Copies of this chain bind each other. A is one copy, B any other.
Amino acid sequence: MSPNVKRPSGHHHGDLRRVLEEAALELLATKGIGGVTMAEASRRAGVSVAAPYKHYADRDALLAALVLRAFTEQRERYRIAMAEVDDPGEQLAAFAAAYVRFAADRPALFTLTFAAGLDKARFPPLAEAGQALFAELSVPARALCGDDDRARRLVLAIAACAHGQAVFLTEGVFADLADPLSGAEHEAATAAAALVAAYAE
């Protein structure tokens, strides 16, 4: 995009935040959460260990940035998946399949969302992003259930099923199947349809 020659001299990037987060993501993917350290992310980004502290207060702040990315990317994916069909029930099934696909495409981000162990009070944007996601899913659910409480339970039930399938998929439970991803997507969508039938009034 920009006409910058990359890394003109030995140091200073144009966008250290981005590079650090990519590095952290790779660490997350290969070594798990415990493997995400400021020191190693710095090394991979090619900067000193002190540099990241100009961008993140501490390690948790870096993790929080990753979680926020995860929420943002998920929301976009679900929005697109749901926009492809018209029927509210099918939209929820499309969400369920997209949820599984996100876990498969971005296992590190997916896992992080539920395992970061961050102090939610310290990072309000995370709670907000979660709310926004839920709100988006509530639209089709409300179209199916007059009752708001029922709609909420339907969304959560479908998300729970999709989450479970996603976890099983990333844990390798379907490793013996020919196409684990398609299988899990299909199961999640099927479960969503069954739940829609059971919860809608």
Q: Which residues of A contact B (CB under 8 A)?
A: 32-34, 114-115, 117, 153, 156-157, 159-165, 167-168, 171, 173, 187-188, 190-191, 193-195, 197-198
Chain B residues contacting A159 (CB-CB under 8 Å) are 164, 168
**Is the beta-carbon distance between B161 and A160 smaller than 8 angstroms?**
yes
Closest chain B CB from A130 CB (angstroms): 9
14 intermolecular pairs with C-beta atoms under 8 Å apart: A33-B33, A115-B115, A157-B161, A157-B187, A160-B187, A160-B188, A160-B191, A162-B164, A163-B167, A164-B164, A167-B167, A194-B194, A194-B197, A197-B198
- Supposing A194-B197, A197-B194, A198-B190 touch, asked if A168 and B160 sit within 8 A by C-beta, the answer is yes
Closest chain B CB from A33 CB (angstroms): 7
Query: In the complex, what residue of chain B is closest to A156 when comparing beta carbons?
Result: B168
Chain B residues contacting A188 (CB-CB under 8 Å) are 160
Chain B residues contacting A153 (CB-CB under 8 Å) are 187
Q: Considering the chains assembled together, what is the distance between the CA atoms of A187 and B156 in angstroms?
A: 9
Chain B residues contacting A115 (CB-CB under 8 Å) are 115
Chain B residues contacting A114 (CB-CB under 8 Å) are 167, 171
Q: Which of B117, B168, B190 contacts A32 (CB 8 A)?
A: B117
Q: Considering the chains assembled together, what is the distance between the CA atoms of A167 and B187 in angstroms?
A: 19
Chain B residues contacting A168 (CB-CB under 8 Å) are 156, 159-160, 163
**Is the beta-carbon distance between A167 and B160 smaller than 8 angstroms?**
yes
**Is the beta-carbon distance between A160 and B164 smaller than 8 angstroms?**
yes
Chain B residues contacting A193 (CB-CB under 8 Å) are 198
